[in-house]
Amino acid sequence: MLDIKFLRENPELVKENIKNKFQDNKIPLVDEVIELDAKSRATQKEADSLRAEKNTISKQIGAFMAKGMKDEAEELKQKVAQNAKRLAELEVAEPVLQEKIKKIMMTIPNIIDASVPIGKNDEENVEVERFGEPVIPDFEIPYHSEIMEHLNGLDLDSARKVAGNGFYYLMGDIARLHSAVISYARDFMIDRGFTYCVPPFMIRSDVVTGVMSFDEMDAMMYKIEGEDLYLIGTSEHSMIGKFIDTMIPEQELPYSLTSYSPCFRKEKGAHGIEERGVYRIHQFEKQEMIVICKPEESMDWFHKLWRNTVDLFRSLDIPVRTIECCSGDLADLKVKSYDVEAWSPRQKKYFEVGSCSNLGDAQARRLKIKVRGEDGKKYLAHTLNNTVVAPPRMLIAFLENNLNADGSVNIPEVLRPYMGGKDRIQ
């Protein structure tokens, strides 16, 4: 969410940013919120004036009564009564105007970084860099669910009976591999100086609206019926929420945390064949990383975060590339975002396995995450998040890139301690 003062002073810049995100329908909201803001400030100014006048008149009434000037005092009392009626009207109007302003401000997109490429949608995202050499083996690679089923590691039919489409049973060595990847990712991030955390898996509505846009919320979140609780779509939600309404001493920054959680997502809409199996599902597990830092450090952290994911995938012998999200593909709160994509030998192309985002002070403004500088001045923190690893989608890349012609799967050396020393699944 933008600072209302910034919008008030830079309306054309905000409108141009909206155009760059191809959300022209929101352009009129800028003038609307400026008008509401002017009314709100005028209302507040009049209310403050009436309150001050009431104090002044009260003293005058006391002075008149002390001198026996009852008629003059009575006249002032009538004015106080009139002012009180008007003040009551203003006090009703003030929160209504503020709520309207907040509702609109929550839908106006954050100002994107100047380096973000301008484009309408993900088809115009830009490749940044490749890491590792993509390999296409001289044998046919089956669909990922077939690989898992061949290794007695996946049961979609039973899951469909129990929970419906979009769920799965992982079993045996595939289930163990899933846990091994999560455990390895946890230790990988701890070794890089991040503090490990297991957060709440449900959050309240004020945290939900603090960490994401309304469109994202509707498309992703499951609500607990009858309670002010939502199942998290990623641990970033509750990890950023951890700092709601806090004043952080500047010397404590940055906070760099890595968190484990299950994730729950609606995943609305129909998807193609390559997104079936366990690619796009309602429930999965994930290792995440988040950073709370000073504004001037956020872009440096952004590049550190996506590099962590690249390094982890390369340690597992999986070629990857980074893609910069264009303006139209950025969620409204994001300033800049990279997707990390893994190589799929089966599809002979890359596919998304993680996303790294710099949200500037947008989440901090909504959640009131403030920093007290050493000079005593207060300012909003910057927040960032990135996927460390999210199996089972990551398992698709792992299995395809480590598959042998006989159907067995090689286990990279770094994972073997988490697999009981095994160097192969067969």
Radius of gyration of the chain (CA): 28
Element (H, E) at 61: helix 27-66
Taking a C-beta distance cutoff of 8 angstroms, is the pair 377, 396 a contact? no
Rounded average pLDDT over 164-170: 92
What's the pLDDT score for residue 25?
97
**Tell me: domain 122-425, CATH 3.30.930.10, correct?**
yes
Tokens (6 digits) for 273: 């064949």
As a whole number of angstroms, the distance between CA 338 and CA 118 comes to: 14
Class of residue 92 by CB neighbours under 10 A (exposed 0-12, middle 13-18, buried 19+): exposed
List the strands of the sheet with 202-203, edge to edge.
202-203, 230-231, 222-223
pLDDT value at 268 more than 70: no
Measuring CA to CA, how many Å separate 101 from each of 108, 206, 245, 360? 11, 17, 21, 21
Q: What CA–CA distance (Å, rounded) separates 4 from 7?
A: 5
Helix, strand counts (H, E) of the chain:
13, 18
**C-alpha span between 58 and 159 (Å, rounded):** 74
Q: What is the pLDDT of residues 208-244, one digit of tens each?
A: 999 987 777 878 899 999 999 999 999 999 999 999 9
- Give the residue from 77, 393, 148, 384 showing the smallest Cα distance to 255: 384
What pLDDT was estimated at residue 267?
76
Residue 274: how many CA atoms within 13 Å on its side-chain side? 11
Q: What's the distance, CA 363 to chain centroid?
A: 8
Residue 274 has pLDDT above 70, yes or no: no
Choose the weakest-confidence range: 169-173, 277-281, 387-391, 418-422: 277-281
Tokens of 126: 């830009």
> CATH 1.10.287.40 spans which residues of the chain?
4-105
For residues 61 and 71, is the Cβ–Cβ distance under 8 A? no
Selecting from 1.10.10.10, 3.30.70.420, 1.10.287.40, 3.30.420.40, what CATH number does the domain 4-105 have? Answer: 1.10.287.40
Please tell me the predicted confidence (pLDDT) of residue 81.
80
Between 11-25, 28-42, 259-273, 411-425, the lowest mean confidence (pLDDT) is in 259-273
What does the block give as tokens for 136?
């296409």
Residue-level pLDDT at 272: 45
Q: Give the pLDDT mean for 111-140.
A: 96
Q: What is the pLDDT of residues 382-403, one digit of tens each?
A: 999 999 999 988 999 999 999 9
Within 10 A of 66 (CB to CB), how many other CB atoms are there?
9
Q: What is the pLDDT of residues 290-310, one digit of tens each?
A: 999 999 999 999 999 999 999
Please state the rounded mean pLDDT for residues 22-45.
96
Mean pLDDT of all residues in 81-110: 91
Range(s) of the chain covered by CATH 3.30.930.10:
122-425
